[in-house]
């Protein structure tokens, strides 16, 4: 099995595109771009793990997820709101190897 995964930071001029293979999938966190976000970002390892597991179980070859920042912004008076400044779109393609029995 090989994996081709891309993610995009959506919005503004900071949009980025990167392509990965199974051996070099990112394991860290994309930090939130908001200066007022607390505890934010997108945890790539968790997303790729659940996405790949779901795809393999259902034998999907392509899938796309859109994930928003997990943090919050302080609004004063002990109020907070969800931070959605950083949005990541992950497009994943899996190429499965053919089994010998599938070739006949």
CA 22 centroid distance within chain = 14
Q: Residues 56-77: what's their mean pLDDT?
A: 89
User: Among positive and negative, which fits the CA dihedral 82, 86, 87, 93?
Assistant: negative
Identify the domain containing residue 64 by its residue range. 2-96
For 65, the token pair is: 């997820």
Classify residue 102: in a domain, yes or no.
Answer: no
Neighbours of 22 (CB within 10 A): 14
Which carries the bigger pLDDT value, residue 23 or residue 32? 32
42: in domain = yes
Q: Is residue 103 part of a domain?
A: no
Question: Looking at residues 41-61, what average pLDDT do you find?
Answer: 87
Rounded CA separation 68/84 (Å): 5
Q: Residue 104 domain-assigned?
A: no
Q: Decide: 49 and 3 in contact? Cβ < 8 Å.
A: no
Q: What is the pLDDT of residue 13?
A: 45
Q: Is the per-residue pLDDT at 50 higher than 60?
A: yes
Reported pTM: 0.68
pLDDT digits 0-9 by tens, 12-30: 545 556 677 777 777 788 8
Domain total in the chain: 1
> What is the average pLDDT across 54-81?
90
The answer as to whether 34 is a domain residue is yes
């Amino acid at each position: 099995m090989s994996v081709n995964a891309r993610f995009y930071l959506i919005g503004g001029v900071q949009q980025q595109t990167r392509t990965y293979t199974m051996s070099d999938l990112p394991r860290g966190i994309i930090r939130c771009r908001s200066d007022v976000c607390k505890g934010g970002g997108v945890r790539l390892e968790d997303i790729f793990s659940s996405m790949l597991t779901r795809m393999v179980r259902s034998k999907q070859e392509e899938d796309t997820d859109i994930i928003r920042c997990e943090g919050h912004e302080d609004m004063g008076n002990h109020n907070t709101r969800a931070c959605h400044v950083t949005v990541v779109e992950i497009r994943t393609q899996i190429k499965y190897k053919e089994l010998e029995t599938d070739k006949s």
